[in-house]
Amino acid sequence: MMLFQSSLALAVLLPAVACGALGGLWWCGARIPERAIARFAYVTYVLMFAAVLVTWFGYAFVSHQPVTVPVGTWYHTRDFHFEMKLNADGISLPFLGMTALLVGVISAFSERYMHRDSGFVRFYFLLHLFAFGCMLLFSAGTFDLLAAGWELLGLTSVLLIAFFQHRSDPVNASLRVFATYRITDIGLLTALATMHHAVHSTEFEQVMPGGIASVSGPQATVVLLLLMFAACGKSAQLPFSGWLPRAMEGPTPTSAIFYGALSVHAGVYLILRVFPLIEASVIARGVIVAIGALTAIYGTVVGRAASDVKSSIAHASMTQLGLMFMELGFGWTTLALWHACGHAAVRTLEFLRAPSALRDTSHIHSGAMGHLDATGQQYEKLLPISVRTTLYRLAIERCYVDSVIDRFVHRPFLWLISTIVRIDHTLIGDPRDSTR
């Protein structure tokens, strides 16, 4: 059993060590060859994938029990304690294996894609940090540790969307994503606080039904709705779907690993993790199905009118995520789990293939003298012209979801912040007017 615990700890720590080593050399001003960075990343992810396979073997064929690694107590008082432990079971292991494999593929692809880019070292540093966040999120044995991985995912997402910081569009898009994440992450943090106050624990086996301190009754419904609020933000479900196409401003490898493969599936993983609680709440299951259905319809309609390939793929991902939410609401957890894994692999390859696909399409279009018939319109032809026109107008404006949020959420929020700042300056003065 010690072997499998060590392999799980190694799988989680390897990207953290790689991130620390590369960050230390970068901070010291060392000039590291691109090939050395890429080879170091290659070795890291091969070892990480091997460690996950060893852990999976121990779980499936030896112990038949979750592999648990106690790390210790982070903080402890009379009423509250924050335990730190890693856990690998039938839910987390597919996500851990998917992380190690797909991040390794992205790392190999990025060696040439990011060749001679001034941010080559920064890109790999953030990629290692993202991999550590994913492994921490998917292997966490408590919701406190899960929240730490959740935050690392959000941080690296924002930094990599704004990777080309010399242009305004990536920076603005990253700020939009950051604002959405911050708003929805309130749900996760509030759910954690509710667990601590209700049962004084956030360990999975204790909080779930059957545990010695399980959440039940109205508190369980409140916790579930808060966690679903957080999951909707991370998985781009309505009404928080507007950030996903904007996130395409980052490099193509980050679009693949974040918004095709791993980051957007974090919300699905969170709901899978708390599904024993969801089974006992009809309200929660109904909300999940409704959100998933609306998002799937929205992604399908808007995606078919998208004018660029990355936005089209982003909305296709949104549609599939909506279907996963519906599957979870109906109780089809195994289907949702493997749907997420299969979708992650397919979307990664689609994003990586997208630049070459555009080039090939251009060549085919030129070879056909510009005479290529439109394809993929079999569904539209089933609808009357008036309905098609209405749907197209809605799709072009993204069903006005972003406009409604900007008008009734974003603008009032900015007004409130600016009002608070003015009041603060009136009471204590503007710090910019102070002299040293």
The answer on pLDDT for 200 being more than 50 is yes
Whether residue 316 contacts residue 351, with contact meaning beta carbons closer than 8 Å, is answered with no
Whether residue 231 has pLDDT greater than 60? yes
Task: Give the pLDDT confidence score for residue 295 in this predicted structure.
Answer: 92
| Banded pLDDT at 368 (limits 50, 70, 90) | low
Are residues 89 and 60 in contact, defined by beta-carbon separation less than 8 angstroms? no
Tell me the mean pLDDT in the region 15-26: 91
Residue 212 has pLDDT above 60, yes or no: no
pLDDT at 95 over 90: yes
Confidence of residue 77 (pLDDT cuts 50, 70, 90): low
Q: Residue 379's pLDDT is what?
A: 64
In this predicted structure, the answer to whether residue 225 has a pLDDT above a threshold of 70 is yes
Average pLDDT, rounded, for the chain: 82
Q: What is the pLDDT of residue 378?
A: 63
At residue 156, what are phi and psi to the nearest 5 degrees? -70, -35
Assess whether pLDDT exceeds 50 at residue 325: yes
pLDDT at 67: 85
Q: How far is residue 246's CA from residue 226's CA, in Å, rounded to a whole number?
A: 25
Output the pLDDT for position 436. Answer: 45
Q: What percent of the chain has pLDDT over 90?
A: 22
> pLDDT tens digit string along 123-177?
999 999 999 999 999 998 888 889 999 999 888 988 888 888 888 888 888 888 8
What is the C-alpha to C-alpha distance for residues 76 and 251, in angstroms, rounded to an integer?
42
Distance between CA atoms of 409 and 239, rounded to whole angstroms?
11
Q: What is the pLDDT of residue 94?
A: 92
The pair of structure tokens assigned to 221 is 């419904």
- Of residues 134, 144, 231, 252, the one with CA closest to residue 181: 231
Identify which has the larger pLDDT, 309 or 373: 309
Distance CA 153, CA 87 (A): 19
CA atoms within 13 A on the CB side of 323: 15
What band does 376 get if pLDDT is binned at 50, 70 and 90? low
pLDDT of residue 432 exceeding 60, the answer is no
